[in-house]
Structure 1
Amino acid sequence: MKKIIITLTHLLIITSVWSQNTVTGIFTELANTQIKLVGNNGFETYAIDSTQANEKGEFSLSFGIEDYGMGYLLSENNKSFVVILAVNENLQLSGVNFELPESIKIIQGKQNQFFDQYATEHPRREQCLSAWDYLTKIYKLDTLFSTQRVPKQSIETEKKRIKAEDGLFLANLPEGSYVSYYLPLRKLVSSVSTIAQYRTEEIPATFAAFRKMDYTDPRLDKSGLLKDAVESHFWLIENSGRSLDSVYIEMQISIDRMLENLLTDETKLNEITEHLFKFLEQRSLFPASEYLAIKLLNEKNCTINNDFAAQLESYRAMKKGNIAPDIVFTGDVSTPGYIDQNKPKKLSEIKSTYKVIVFGASWCPQCPKELQEISKNYSTWKQQGVEVVFVSLDENKQTFESFIKPFSFISICDYKKWESPIVKNYHVFATPTIYLLNDKREILLRPNSVSQLNSWIDWYLVQGNK
């Protein structure tokens, strides 16, 4: 029995040693400096190994099975060089430093050599295609050239040749290699801006490619492109030249496809949908973020993390068209501009046609700027029948009173911060949070900034009354 245990122990040690690969290099200007090897894991990066180069700039770093994918070498001055960490493939490099990629030679590492070749050739092909696309438009639209069939045919032939050459390179990459997965993905993500601007005929095919993506594939996690893949997909829809209604329909289709794929992996579902939700919110694509929220909350085949679920729940309870809860003005209340007998004691007593409810605090980094902007526009809003109620999440009376001193709109604070009944009733999970209500407390808008709110008021109220 003892012999068996020793043999198994030795086997584990040998397996561990065999599973290690190395990245070695000689970089003349990195002598005696610290060098790190960094890997990717979903939206995050992590340190794999680090070492100090010797006086000649020589270094050696190790990585294991769990690190296979894309990584990068990082120098002390935060300059990096992207590499493929491939199965059973040691990588050997030489160069001056990571700031001069043109000086770097890949001495050993077949997949990295393919990667380097494509990274050099593909941008040149893209530049040529852009030039040919420009000429195509001239030969189609300019009467001086539009009758010339031979040049037009020659341009189309050359464009097809360039695309075929690029596709042939990708098709001939070693089957099952990481580079054969990574390069088409990188091409898809990096092409989005060019397609939106210059090659709009490729937009439908690009939508389809994104919708076919397997977000549960471990190779995507290790690519360092997960963030770009999610964001580029929806950025392209937003900038595809469609009407706003059509944009949201396309986003709903993409969200449906994404959820179909992610429902098999709850960890990835939470990670990716939370990132997408925040991205849509930041870009003020509220109908899309609301659609995502409702879909997730209504999905019975998955479990949403508690914090994320609470954030999503606010969309179900406080979505556009719902009636917002009444607010009883408790605690300290500041009502400048109202005489004693007419001071409202709750939100429903305010006679204004529109009401803006702002949740914020003195400790919130963005709140002072947003509230100052409200203060600047308040007199104009007031003339258009808009009243403002600021609900403070401060916990100190002196701080609250000092903070609201410049404001000429209603401000209230019960000093209960996140435990305030008002905060809970409005499902507030971040500051600043803003709602625009009508006189029936129907939610008209959930703006992500005062700038967006002011644009709505200017368009619908100020311009509409002229």
Structure 2
Amino acid sequence: MKKHLIAFLYLITTPFIFSQSISGNFSQLINQPIKVEGFSGLKTYAVSSTTTDEKGNFKLNYSKSDYGVGYLIASDNKPLFILLSGEDIVITGEALNVPETIKIAKGQENLFFEEYAKEHPRREQALSAWGYLEKIYTLDSLFSLQQKPITAILEEKQRIKKEDKVFLSSLPSDSYVKWFLPIRKLVSSVSTIAQYRPEEIPETIDAFRKLDYTDARLYKSGLFKDAIDNHFWLLENSGKSLDNVFEEMKLSIDGMLVKLATNEKIFNEVTDYLFDLLEKHSLFQASEYLALKVLNEGSCTINNDLANQLETYRAMKKGNIAPDMIFNPSFFVNPNKIVAKLSSLKSNYTVVVFGASWCPKCKEELPEIAKLYSKWKSKGVEVVFVALEEDRTAFINFAKGFPFISYSDNKKWESKIVKDYYVFSTPTIFLLDNKREIILRPNSVKQMDAWVDWYLK
């Protein structure tokens, strides 16, 4: 009896785990699995799942902790984005892959979102069209004297922008959608602004710099990753010189880190992702700047994987002297290509490549280096391949046909040479001069070959 009483008291004093629902009917989804997923920073997670009944009815639950943006998805794999803003939501339609039939029957926040999602793209298209006409009437001498249409074009552009603002200002001040829609507009309008409205680029970049990645609304919005991607894409495609682009990226990185320093978890998540993004786009000056800023950030603890990855930029940046390599003569693949140490090479330049037979990219890059080796060698460039292997046979089979120095001590990541060079991924390439000064960190064989063609004509 006592146990039952405790259980009853627990139920009436403890909030239900799920307090809101998403229900409705999809007439073409009969006895089909359907689920809702939410966003958490760069990742998604399962919120709730069920199976539609024989008439296509369904009901899913979500809690206050899921507050943000989620998406419904069924067997047709066509997601429907919805706002999990603390209200019951009712949706009807034929199926998720027939979006023109879908209606929000209940859920004021989602009704606001649905209305804006239909109207805003049309406003954006009209703005781009008026912008195109504005350029014709202001730059073309045939039309530039026609003040009346120019005035009309400017007035219509202002009217459209005002219409957008009026809609947003009419929304309740505490609603999630009022915050979400301008951020969504910012993120989604980047390519249009870069292509058709470049005069808005400075304002747009400034808006990105004001974003706070520690804001829970942004973290749960599904826009977290896109905001980072589009911010730096716009900087890269702003029409400025590469030097100016890097300066702008430094300003953006500085602004992001100031706010991120208050949340260690998100600090690591954002900086790790941004570092990889900059590396993939070959924006090495920006990635190096980020790496050094993060390593010098005293208010946050960097996770070990990220710290090791970033440390290579402090220890192995351009202008530094690379460590010497002491080789064991037994570990070379070719007895005619044996050296005692790296510093004993007499070449003007040395390309040091860290790779492995198990690395898919290395299987493309190393044979390509082999094809280019005779050209590089004729211009004073030697190649040293250091393999991160444990299996001696695999190393020999992989490297036996290479015409350049190939070496492996069979210790993989635990090799002293690998650790001395702070290698965290394969392939990793360094270009050294005859004093072992690091003069380039090529991101590909193609970039290295372009350097040879340009600087060693």
Coarse TM-score class (shorter-chain normalised): over 0.9
CA shift in 2, pair 1:77/1:376, >3 Å = farther
Q: Deviations over 1:396-418 (max 9, x none)?
A: 22111110122111110100000
The yes-or-no answer on 1:23 pairing with 2:18 is no
Q: Distance between the aligned counterparts of 1:212 and 1:254, measured in 2?
A: 9
Per-residue CA distance 1:236-269 (angstroms, 9 max, x = gap): 1111111111111111111111111011111111
Structure 1 residues 352 and 30: alpha-carbon distance in aligned structure 2, compared to 1, 3 A threshold? same
SS in 2 for 1:93: strand
Matched-pair contact (CA < 8 Å) for 1:336–1:408:
no
State whether structure 2 residue 358 is matched by structure 1 residue 360. no
Q: Is the 8 A contact 1:336 1:410 kept in 2?
A: no
Counterpart residue number, 2:246:
248
Taking a change above 3 Å as real, the CA distance of residues 28 and 230 of structure 1, as seen in their structure-2 partners, is same
Q: Secondary structure at the match of 1:60?
A: strand
1:280 matched to which residue of 2? 278
Root-mean-square deviation over aligned CA pairs: 1.7
User: How many Å separate the matches in 1 of 2:74 and 2:451?
Assistant: 48
Deviation at 1:337, TM superposition (A): 7.0
- Does residue 448 (structure 1) correspond to residue 446 (structure 2)? The answer is no
Q: Conserved in 1, the CA contact under 8 Å of 2:76 and 2:96?
A: no
> Take 1:320 and 1:171, find their aligned partners in 2: how far apart are those partners?
51
Is the counterpart of residue 81 in structure 1 residue 76 in structure 2?
A: no
After superposition, give the CA deviation of every residue in 1:181-221 in whole Å (9 maximum; x if it has no partner).
11111100011111112211111111111111111111111
What displacement does 1:104 show?
0.4
Partner Cα separation in structure 2 for residue 405 and residue 333 of structure 1: 10
Unaligned runs of at least 5 residues, structure 1: none
1:112 aligned onto 2:124: no
Offset of residue 7 of structure 1: 7.1
Deviations 1:335-378 (CA, angstroms, capped at 9, x unpaired): 5876xxxx532211212111111101000121100112212222
1:394 matched residue in structure 2: 389
Query: Is structure 2 residue 171 aligned with structure 1 residue 173?
Result: yes
Post-superposition offset of 1:85: 0.8
Q: Which residue of 2 aligns with 1:425?
A: 420
Distance 2:13 2:445 in 1: 61
Normalising by structure 1, we get a TM-score of: 0.94
Take 1:368 and 1:291, find their aligned partners in 2: how far apart are those partners? 30
1:438 maps to which residue?
433
Distance in 1 of aligned mates of 2:377 and 2:118: 59
CA shift at 1:383, angstroms? 1.9
Amino acid at match of 2:79: S
- 1:10 offset after TM fit, Å? 3.2
Q: Distance in 1 between matches of 2:195 and 2:336?
A: 51
Partner of 1:10: 11
Contact kept, 8 Å, 2:28 with 2:56, in 1: the verdict is: yes
Which position in structure 2 is the counterpart of 1:301? 299
Partner in structure 2 of residue 187 of structure 1: 185
Distance (whole Å) between structure 2 residues aligned to residue 235 and residue 334 of structure 1: 44
3-state SS of 2:53 partner: coil
Structure 1 counterpart SS, 2:28: helix
Aligned to 1:50: 49
Name whichever of 252-261 and 370-379 sits farther off: 370-379
Distance in 2 (alpha carbons) for counterparts of 1:203 and 1:34: 44
Task: Give 2:229's match in structure 1, choosing from 231, 236, 260.
Answer: 231
Question: Counterpart of 2:332 in 1: which secondary structure?
Answer: strand
Distance 1:206 1:366 in 2: 37
Q: Which residue of 1 aligns with 2:38?
A: 39
Is the contact between residue 48 and residue 62 of structure 2 (CA under 8 Å) also seen in structure 1?
yes
**Alpha-carbon distance in 2 for matches of 1:102, 1:77:** 15
The residue that corresponds to 2:131 in the other structure is 133
Deviations 1:291-324 (A, max 9, x none): 1111111122221111111111111000111010
Query: Is the partner of 2:16 in helix, strand or coil?
Result: helix
Which residue of 139, 142, 167 maps to 2:140? 142
Distance 2:350 2:105 in 1: 67
| Cα deviation code 1:257-287 (max 9, x no counterpart) | 1111011111111111111111111111111
Q: 1:402 to 1:10 in 2, by over 3 A?
A: closer
Partner of 1:378 in structure 2? Answer: 373
CA distance in 1, matches of 2:382, 2:212: 48
Distance 1:160 1:394 in 2: 64
Kept in 1, the 8 Å contact 2:334–2:400? The answer is no
- Give me the identity figure in percent: 57
Q: Secondary structure at the match of 1:40?
A: strand
Which of 31-40 and 172-181 deviates more? 172-181
Letter in structure 2 aligned against 1:353: N
| Cα pair 2:76 2:97 within 8 Å, conserved | no
| Cα distance between partner residues in 2 of 1:419 and 1:6 | 56
What amino acid is the match of 1:58? N
Give the Cα separation in 2 of the matches to 1:336 and 1:283: 39
Q: Which amino acid aligns with 1:108?
A: K
Amino acid at match of 2:413: W
Which stretches in structure 2 are left out of the alignment for 5+ residues? none
Segment of structure 1 superposing worse, 65-74 or 400-409: 400-409
Deviations 1:392-446 (A, max 9, x none): 0111221111101221111101000000000000000111111111111111111
Q: Which amino acid aligns with 2:445?
A: V
> By how many angstroms is 1:12 displaced?
3.2
Cross-structure match for 1:292: 290
SS class of match (1:408): coil
- Corresponding residue of 2:60: 61
Which of 157, 160, 164 is the aligned partner of 1:159?
157
- Cα distance in 1 for partners of 2:250, 2:122 equals 36
Larger mean Cα displacement after TM superposition, 144-153 or 47-56: 144-153
